[in-house]
Amino acid sequence: MAKKRDSWGSRLGIIMAVAGSAIGLGNFLRFPAKAASNGGGAFMIPYFISLFLLGIPLMWIEWTLGRYGGGFEHGTAPGIFHSVWQKNRFIKYFGIIGIFGPLVIFIYYTYIEAWTFAYSFFALSGKYSHIVDQASMQSFLSGFQGLEQNQYFNGLGVAYLFFVLTFIINIWVIYYGIKGGIERLCKWAMPLLFIFGLVLLARVFTLGTPDIAKPSWNIANGFGFLWNPDFSALKSAKVWLEAAGQIFFTLSVGIGVILTYASYLSKGDDVVLSGLTAASTNEVAEVILGGSIIIPAAFVFFGPQNIQSIAQSGVFNLGFVTMPLVLNKLPLAQMMGFFWFFLLFLAGITSSVSLAQPAVAFLEDEFDISRKKAVAIFAAVAFILCHAAVLFLKNGVVDELDFWGGTFFLVLFATIETILFGWVFGIDKAWDEIHKGADMRVPKIYKFIIKYITPLFLFIILGMWFWQQWLPIIFMKNVSAADKPFILGTRIGLVLIFLVLAILVKIAWKKKKLLTERM
């Protein structure tokens, strides 16, 4: 007798969980940096076009495909794809990307998440409160990461301790399942995240002009720097690609997580309104909170000459160097610092537990093993794999994992599932499936968008990438000679992970075929 699959406890629970998966470090670090570096307010034009032509259609596609596959007892892309196209015996192997991508992201994301956990304690204890310049705060971060030994840290010990603690918290949440673990976490983590975000937002709005000798360094001009449009930027293909990439990144579409989450819905659950609500919650967090805290605040204290370089300095520097310096200049600096870093930790952990779920669900559903055993297997394998990011951060391993797991395969997977949904499953059948149990109708224009515009947009993105970046990346043109062995080793490791997953898919389907023949 097959064991009963887990399920969500409420509609609010699934919306909070999907929003939690989408709301991550990228909302508060990546988005403001991308917007400020790519034309300011003009960036929002391709951003919102990508949201309506890529993000929302893919959100509905993944919610619908996930719920459909869940009806066949499948919670991951290989099984869900097979349910849609049963005549094609190879389609399940394309679905491996929906397990591979989240696993690869989990390998490095958990370590970065651990930094936010550690800095939450550093903020409360005042460990960096005496630091007043960029170079010293950068040195503090590098010492913590184990990239250098200095007066702040002597090796990787502290970072590794917080990594282990963060990893244990993730596994503990995953162990208790969909309703008892992930849903319970997101129901309290998401409101708390918004409370901390709103407190920080209110503080930024009331900054005024801290230095009366520099009246132009005010919050209005800070928002102006971020939101005033440079329309000439719209001529650049890079800006459009960056905007589309941010939508993928921020909504967690094309990863495989939403497919898995939606597989725990019942057939009559509304995917139209729930998907739209989850997407809207994420956009509020990103555009209103993420776009209104770090860049405007940095402008007030560092001025128009330095803000451009700050915006382009990278998401790690923005979050862990610039923002602590800004908060150190405010009253109640330790509390504000804790709010900032714990907000990032909550955003991180609600995302990382979602990244673990596809692999766990695959073991549960396709090999019919208990969640306890599936989580134990995942924890053992993931803990070993995470050490690549922990030990070889300075050698570019995290950037390499992020490119393949969080960029390239994300777009490739989205392209596959869009073609599968709109063309193989069939847009008419797909349209009926979307609206089962729906409290609202999707505007009919989206029938055309999902079938034609979204896949065309995706093919353009892939085509532009192959045209502009394929050869330099494959031949490691921008990688130093010292780092090339580490990057090559990372790529070999990724190929091995993919092959192992392919073998597991083959074994699972072979077992099911033998079981069917015996019945």
371 within 8 A of 173, measured Cβ to Cβ: no
Residue 144 tokens, joined: 């913590």
How far from 488 is each of 389, 406, 411, CA to CA, in Å? 14, 18, 22
Residues contacting 108, CB < 8 A, separation 6+ = 386, 388, 389, 397, 398, 401, 402, 405
Percent of the chain with pLDDT over 70: 99
SS3 224: helix
Domain 11-518 is found in CATH 1.20.1420: no
* The residue type at 97: I
Other CB atoms within 10 A of residue 2 CB? 7
Q: Could you give the count of Cα atoms lying within 13 Å of 254 in the half-sphere of its Cβ? A: 29
- The model's pLDDT over 362-388, given as tens digits with 9 standing for 90+, comes to 999 999 999 999 999 999 999 999 999
Residue 303 tokens, joined: 């001025």
Which residue, among 413, 406, 415, has the nearest Cα to 494 in the 3D structure?
Answer: 406
Region 493-500: mean pLDDT is 97
Q: Report angle CA 238, 244, 249 to the nearest 5 degrees.
A: 120
- The model's pLDDT over 68-111, given as tens digits with 9 standing for 90+, comes to 999 998 999 999 999 999 999 899 999 999 999 999 999 999 99
Please identify which residue in the block is written with the tokens 């929002």.
44
Q: Is the pLDDT of residue 117 over 90?
A: yes
Residues 402 and 396: their CA atoms lie apart, in Å, by: 10
Q: Is the pLDDT of residue 235 over 90?
A: no
More confident residue, 209 or 293: 293
Region 121-139: mean pLDDT is 94
Region 295-305: mean pLDDT is 85
pLDDT at 304: 79
186 within 8 A of 349, measured Cβ to Cβ: no
pLDDT at 3: 65
pLDDT at 2: 53
b/e sequence 171-209, b meaning 16+ C-beta within 10 Å: bebbbebbbebbbbbbbebbeebbebbeebbebbeebee
pLDDT at 500: 97
- Classify burial at 8, counting beta carbons within 10 Å of its beta carbon; exposed 0-12, middle 13-18, buried 19 or more: buried
Residues 321 and 134: their CA atoms lie apart, in Å, by: 7
Which residue, among 427, 419, 423, has the nearest Cα to 458 in the 3D structure?
Answer: 419
Q: What is the pTM of this model?
A: 0.94
For the ranges 88-97, 239-248, 249-258, the maximum mean pLDDT occurs at 88-97
pLDDT at 1: 45
Angular region, 283: left φ>0, alpha ψ -120 to 50, beta rest: alpha
* The residue type at 137: M
Residues 53 and 409: their CA atoms lie apart, in Å, by: 19
- The model's pLDDT over 39-60, given as tens digits with 9 standing for 90+, comes to 888 888 999 999 999 999 999 9
Region 231-256: mean pLDDT is 85
b/e sequence 68-92, b meaning 16+ C-beta within 10 Å: bbbeebbbbbbbbbbbbeeeeeebb
66 within 8 A of 98, measured Cβ to Cβ: no
Which residue, among 316, 290, 310, 286, has the nearest Cα to 298 in the 3D structure?
Answer: 310
Residues contacting 312, CB < 8 A, separation 6+ = 33, 36, 37
Q: Report angle CA 375, 377, 379 to the nearest 5 degrees.
A: 65
Q: Could you give the count of Cα atoms lying within 13 Å of 156 in the half-sphere of its Cβ? A: 15
Domain ranges of the chain: 11-518
Which segment of 124-128, 192-196, 291-295 scores lowest on mean pLDDT?
Answer: 291-295
In the DSSP assignment, the letter for residue 483 is T
- E strand or H helix that includes residue 463: helix 454-468
Q: What is the mean pLDDT of the chain?
A: 91
Interhelix angle 157-175/371-391, nearest 10 degrees: 160
If you compute the radius of gyration of the chain from its CA atoms, what whole number of angstroms results? 23
Length of the chain: 519
More confident residue, 3 or 475: 475
123 within 8 A of 338, measured Cβ to Cβ: yes
